[in-house]
Amino acid sequence: MKPTTLDAYQLMHEGALALADVEEAGIRIDVERLDQTIADIDVVIDGLYSQLQNDKVWYSWKERWGEKSNLGSRYQLGKVLFEELGYKAKKLTPTGRAQVNEEALTQINLSFVKNYLRIEKLKKLRTTYLLGIRREVVGEYLHAFFNLHLARTMRSSASEPNLQNIPIRDTEAGRLIRSCIIPRDGHTLVEIDYSSLEYRVCACFYQDENMLAYVADPTSDVHRDVAAELFMLDQDDVSKDLRFYAKNQFVFATLYGSYYVNTSKNLWNEAVLGASVTTSGGVPIRKHLASKGIKQLGMCKPGHTALKGTFERHVKQVEERFKERFPQWAERKEIWWQRYLSSGSFQMMTGFSCSGVFTRNDLYNYPIQGPAFHLLLWSLIQMVKWLKDEGMKSVVVAEVHDSLLIDVENSELDDVIAKAKQVMTKDVQDHWRWAARVPLEVEVEASEKNWYEKKPWKG
């Protein structure tokens, strides 16, 4: 990908300089809390290991493997569960072995397996996230790297550590990690997040009248509506979790080139089989779907007919209605693909030229994700410049997904939030006129304590 316009070059050049300022400013870390959290997790892991080693499953394990017994071996665990204890394997690997991944293990109702998975989760949380942060702290500040040259979609990436990869849906992990990220003395952490940014950019790109109508109506919500269809619910019964899964596992997956064989499988595994996923009224979604006659996923094999009464067949029907709902998108994405096949390249709305070998998914994904991030990057550049020019004590300390994280001095709160809203929803539309085809909206959350305890900003 090459910045073929002056505007595109300036965006990358000024973006790199602004992100250097963000890295230099750094994020304040509650080091004492971080160290205590790591120590507490060590205690929990040790206790869980003791429970495993006193479990009858471990005795069977040691009988089979003797001195070679290794609790970290998924291969050995699979042999014990599916051969020694007689549990039925749900899926097989290409070589014919029982799958022993997290998805397969979560379907086994055994305390040993639950403790085993809990240990795996805590070890990843400790090593990848908490120790990753601790290793990079200097004094009480974390200076993570934000890169503009690695992701092919033209989005940014983060490293040392990857702050953009902090778990969102895992409440415990999010709490333990984000609680260690705190504001400077006399400051408040403020996160300003674009609302449905990629969907709005998609509407701008394809100019589908129904997409544009959705984003123009503040009372409408395409992700909620699709969730209601997917899970056979009234709109009021769609929970936050179900909206999340509909958004990420169906709406965007479909817009970016996936189809019902994959989306139904992912929705079933992540939302339906998730024990904690419920309707807004607290009914487990698997139980609700069963009451509607859907009790199994289906074969989910390319080339095979989706059987009546399966979740796969239902999702296929939802997909067909989705294409009918947005007919111009359905038509224009095919035209877009054919143009690429003729030229071997395509242009982004933000002035970048992309050439080379791309899959259909790439071609549907990149022109949306790239410009969506560029709206955020342009806004970040303006905020960093303005804070410096005005001599503010507030600093931008991170950009994560579609949001800016700003460590705001308390006396500057109203001014900084008002300026960020202006830049992110109005000024950026003056800079890129294509973005004015839809209203841009942001959500503001803030906390004087830590990043986890942020609440909607009341003003």
| pLDDT (tens digit per residue) in 205-214 | 999 999 999 9
Architecture of the domain defined by 2-30+140-198+367-456: 2-Layer Sandwich (3.30)
* φ/ψ (deg, to 5) at 182: -130, 160
Nearest to 367 by CA among 271, 445, 256: 256
pLDDT class of 446 with cuts at 50, 70, 90: very high
Query: What's the rounded mean pLDDT across residues 135-143?
Result: 97
Confirm if 387 and 187 have CB atoms less than 8 A apart. no
* Phi, psi of 158, rounded to the nearest 5 degrees: -130, 150
Residue 149 has pLDDT above 90, yes or no: no
Helix axes 209-216, 197-206, angle to 10 degrees: 140
What pLDDT, on the 0 to 100 scale, is given for residue 223?
A: 95
For residue 360 the two structure tokens come to 């259909």
User: Residue 1: which pLDDT band, with cuts at 50, 70 and 90?
Assistant: very low
- What span, in angstroms and rounded, lies between the C-alpha atoms of 328 and 347? 20
In which band, very low, low, confident or very high, does the pLDDT at 5 lie, cut at 50, 70 and 90? confident
pLDDT over 70 percentage in the chain: 99
pLDDT tens per residue across span 269-328: 889 986 679 999 999 999 999 999 999 999 999 999 999 999 999 999 999 999 999 999
pLDDT over threshold 60, residue 16: yes
Q: How far, in Å, CA of 249 to CA of 233, rounded? A: 17
Mean per-residue pLDDT, 117-125? 95
pLDDT digits (tens, 9 = 90+) for 153-212: 788 999 999 999 998 778 899 999 999 999 999 999 999 999 999 999 999 999 999 999
Residue that is written with structure tokens 């495993």 in the block:
52
Q: Taking all residues of the chain, what is their mean pLDDT, rounded to a whole number?
A: 94
At 4 the pLDDT is 67
pLDDT average, residue stretch 377-382: 98
The number of beta carbons lying within 10 Å of the beta carbon of residue 35 is: 13
pLDDT in tens, 229-261: 999 999 999 999 999 999 999 999 999 999 999
pLDDT at 2 over 60: no
Domain boundaries, the chain: 2-30+140-198+367-456, 33-119, 209-325
- pLDDT over threshold 90, residue 121: yes
State residue 299's pLDDT score.
Answer: 92
Q: Cα separation of 173 and 133, whole Å?
A: 14
CA 261 to chain centre: 21
For residues 90 and 97, give the distance between their C-alpha atoms in angstroms, rounded to a whole number. 11
Give residue 332's pLDDT: 96
Instruction: Say how far apart CA 396 and CA 19 lie, in whole Å.
Output: 9
